[in-house]
């Protein structure tokens, strides 16, 4: 067996790839060869390590030294100083955003130290393209144990005891869903993995498929054994080419090692997987629309019941779970039900992965026990709000969720608490906003997304969201009326109660939650024709301070509409009727004399 003095993990997630990690990886290998160190240093391209804003990221073991924003030019120094001389390259250490201190070790960084990783247990630690690394971490041991020792009914009973709930949205009990599919009559059944992750700012499922695809394959095979299926499909969006590539390779390797195909592990049970690439329609995240898409039909939802567990793919009983749900299952059977049930809350067991994005120091993937407060996620793991700004709101559950405010910072992040607060868990998108965000514009943004992505099958979603968007657009332009707020609420509640599918029913949530929590901002746009956050362009007014203006004329020379006039060495003025609010004057003024009102 090969042994190395050092293991160099280079993050190969999509975020780090966009930052240039491939060039860093190539340089590392060439420099090691130049220094005759190939036999002493093992370089591994992993999945997403999690700190997406710090890439390219590398971690060097056995010490666990964490280096951030590594460039090709840094590689030689790391090898010569760290690998050869044993000296740390201090300038590349992670720095805590709130304190002026460097944190060299992975395990000492708050972002990682406060996490509890189950779904992401291998992501960022193994090479997802090498099946042996997954097996070395205990991979496929749960499948082997189940095929040799468990009946399908025992698998389902254990899963029910675990308390695992679906991580894709409403949190339906996973074991119960498996039981429905098991008991549904029929000789042909299917297992489907919903990897059509379409929420703005969400990338949890993508990172699992890119960094630990075998965990999903193993779980789907366990699910197939439990319900009596022999064929499965992973429905993944075309915008995830790296996930598709690594999952395809993993499926090939699983077949080669006898983990997929005929007579798996000599058990007599057979199961195989195929990938179906979606065209990027948000509505195909809804399970019945996803099924229609796999069948080659237009991706539109249908009324339920019957549910897919009874009447699903090609009319056959079908088990559908999302990526994160499946990723939990091998760990549950490997470490035991008792271990899993001790994590989380009474009704929400285990952990949840959040894609932390927006106005927060540490953006990226975090996995924490259910019940962790919003404050802990944003200020402890996330490092707080940049530039000393005030926290304003957090959008959970994507475009179907709602806004949490300052009063909700100590809210435990679990299914029941979020619903009670007027939001939802959703797939785990968590977008943080500060005082510079306009909540009316935020509501308009999410509604514009869902309206654009509506499949158009039902009138409440197709027409209702369009009318709501028109009203919100009027308000952001200063053309709204006070009665528009009541009309928005009326339309929203009507859509929630009459839309065909869950996506349509939840589309008005951002509007309802922002009206509830930020009604004063709506009124400011309507009554005062002002945007307090200075975001809505139609309501902005650029002004020149007569005290600060030196009369240099630079603003006037850069104004594309000739809206600024004046004399040299005297204060200039802006003609509001000509101003197109492009911001060029503010950008070019060297004396900070131009301000927004």
Angle, CA of 70, 46 and 16, to the nearest 5°: 40
**Low-confidence residues of the chain: pLDDT under 70:** 1-2, 98-99
Q: What pLDDT, in 10s, does the model give residues 455-479?
A: 888 999 999 999 999 999 999 999 9
Phi then psi for residue 2, to 5 deg, are -75, 135
What is residue 2's predicted lDDT score, i.e. its pLDDT? 65
In the Cβ-directed half-sphere of 61, how many Cα atoms lie within 13 Å? 12
Among positive and negative, which fits the CA dihedral 246, 249, 251, 253? negative
Per domain, the residue ranges of the chain are: 6-113, 137-340, 351-434, 439-528, 541-596
What CATH number does the domain located at 351-434 have?
A: 3.10.20.600
As beta bridge partners, residue 320 has 192
Distance from the Cα of residue 455 to its chain's centroid: 23
Specify the pLDDT at position 1. Answer: 46
Q: What are phi and psi of 522, to 5 degrees?
A: -60, -45
Q: Which CATH superfamily is domain 137-340 in?
A: NADH-ubiquinone oxidoreductase 51kDa subunit (3.40.50.11540)
DSSP state of 243: H
Instruction: Note the pLDDT tens digit of each residue in 68-95.
Output: 999 999 999 999 999 999 999 999 999 8
CATH classification (class only), 541-596: alpha beta
Residue linked to tokens 């991979």: 139
Number of C-alpha atoms within 13 angstroms, CB side, residue 268? 2
Structure tokens at 214: 């075998």
The Cα 117–Cα 124 span in angstroms is 11
What pLDDT is stored for residue 430 in this prediction?
93
Which pLDDT belongs to residue 101?
79
CATH class of 439-528: mainly alpha
Q: pTM value?
A: 0.92
Contacts of 149 (CB under 8 A, 6+ apart): none
DSSP assignment of 499-521 equals: -SSHHHHHTTHHHHHHHHHHHHH
Helix axes 465-476, 509-523, angle to 10 degrees: 20
Helix residue ranges, H only, 232-280: 241-256
> Using the 8-state DSSP alphabet, how is residue 263 labeled?
S
Tens of pLDDT, residue by residue over 313-360, are 999 999 999 999 999 999 999 999 999 999 999 999 999 999 999 999
For 522-554, b/e burial (b = at least 16 CB within 10 A) is bebbbeeebbbbebbeebbebebeeeebeebbb
Element (H, E) at 541: none
Q: Judging by DSSP bridges, how do beta strands 542-544 and 391-396 pair with one another? A: unpaired
What's the CATH code, domain 6-113?
A: 3.40.30.10
DSSP letter for 370, please: T
């Amino acid at each position: 067996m090969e042994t190395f003095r050092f293991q160099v993990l280079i993050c190969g997630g999509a975020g780090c790839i966009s930052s240039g990690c491939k060039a860093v990886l190539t340089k590392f290998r060439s420099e090691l060869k130049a220094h005759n160190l190939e036999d002493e240093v093992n370089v591994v391209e992993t999945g997403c390590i999690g700190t997406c804003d710090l890439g390219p990221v590398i971690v060097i073991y056995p010490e666990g030294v964490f280096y951030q924003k590594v460039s090709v030019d840094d590689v030689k120094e790391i090898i010569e100083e760290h690998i050869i001389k044993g000296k740390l390259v201090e300038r590349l250490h992670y720095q805590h955003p709130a304190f002026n201190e460097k944190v060299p070790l992975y395990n000492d960084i708050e972002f990682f130290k406060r996490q509890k990783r189950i779904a992401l247990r291998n992501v960022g630690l193994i090479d997802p393209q090498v099946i042996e690394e997954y097996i070395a971490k205990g991979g496929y041991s749960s499948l082997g144990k189940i095929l040799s020792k468990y009946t399908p009914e025992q698998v389902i009973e254990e899963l029910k005891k675990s308390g695992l709930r679906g991580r894709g949205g409403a949190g339906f009990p996973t074991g119960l869903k498996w039981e429905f599919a098991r008991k549904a009559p029929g000789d042909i059944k299917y297992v489907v993995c919903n990897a059509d992750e379409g929420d703005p700012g969400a990338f949890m499922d993508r990172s699992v498929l890119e960094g630990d695809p075998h965990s999903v394959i193993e779980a789907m095979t366990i699910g197939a054994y439990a319900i009596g299926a022999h064929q499965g499909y992973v429905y993944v969006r075309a915008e995830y080419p790296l996930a598709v590539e690594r999952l395809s390779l993993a499926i090939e390797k699983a077949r080669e090692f006898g983990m997929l195909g005929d007579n798996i592990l000599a058990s007599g049970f057979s199961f195989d997987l195929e990938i179906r690439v979606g065209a990027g329609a948000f509505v195909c995240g809804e399970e019945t629309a996803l099924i229609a898409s796999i069948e080659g039909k237009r991706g539109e939802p249908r009324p339920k019941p019957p549910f897919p567990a009874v009447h699903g793919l090609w009319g056959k009983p079908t088990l559908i779970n999302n990526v994160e749900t499946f990723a939990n299952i091998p760990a549950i059977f490997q470490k035991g039900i008792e271990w899993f049930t001790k994590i989380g809350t009474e009704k929400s067991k285990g952990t949840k992965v959040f894609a932390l994005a927006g106005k927060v120091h540490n953006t990226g993937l975090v996995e924490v026990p259910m019940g962790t407060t919003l404050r802990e996620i944003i200020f402890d793991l996330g490092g707080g709000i940049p530039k000393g700004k005030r926290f304003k709101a957090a959008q959970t559950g994507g475009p179907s969720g709602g806004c949490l405010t300052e009063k909700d910072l100590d809210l435990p992040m679990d299914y029941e608490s979020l619903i009670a607060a007027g939001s939802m868990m959703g797939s785990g998108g968590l977008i943080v906003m500060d005082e510079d965000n306009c909540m009316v514009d935020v509501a308009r943004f999410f509604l514009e997304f869902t309206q654009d992505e509506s499949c158009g099958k039902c009138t409440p979603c197709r027409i209702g969201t369009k009318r709501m968007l028109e009203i919100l657009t009027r308000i952001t332009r200063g053309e709204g009326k006070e009665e528009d707020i009541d009309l928005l609420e009326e339309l929203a509640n009507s859509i929630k109660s009459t839309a065909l599918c869950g996506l349509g029913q939840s589309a008005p949530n951002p509007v309802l939650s922002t009206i509830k929590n930020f009604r004063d901002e709506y009124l400011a746009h309507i009554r005062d024709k002002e945007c307090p956050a200075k975001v809505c362009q139609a309501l902005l007014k650029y002004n020149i301070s007569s005290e600060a203006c030196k009369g240099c004329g630079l603003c006037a020379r850069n104004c594309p509409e000739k809206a600024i006039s004046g004399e040299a060495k005297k204060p200039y003025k802006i003609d509001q009727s000509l101003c197109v609010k492009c911001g060029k004057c503010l950008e070019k003024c060297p004396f900070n004399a131009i301000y927004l009102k």
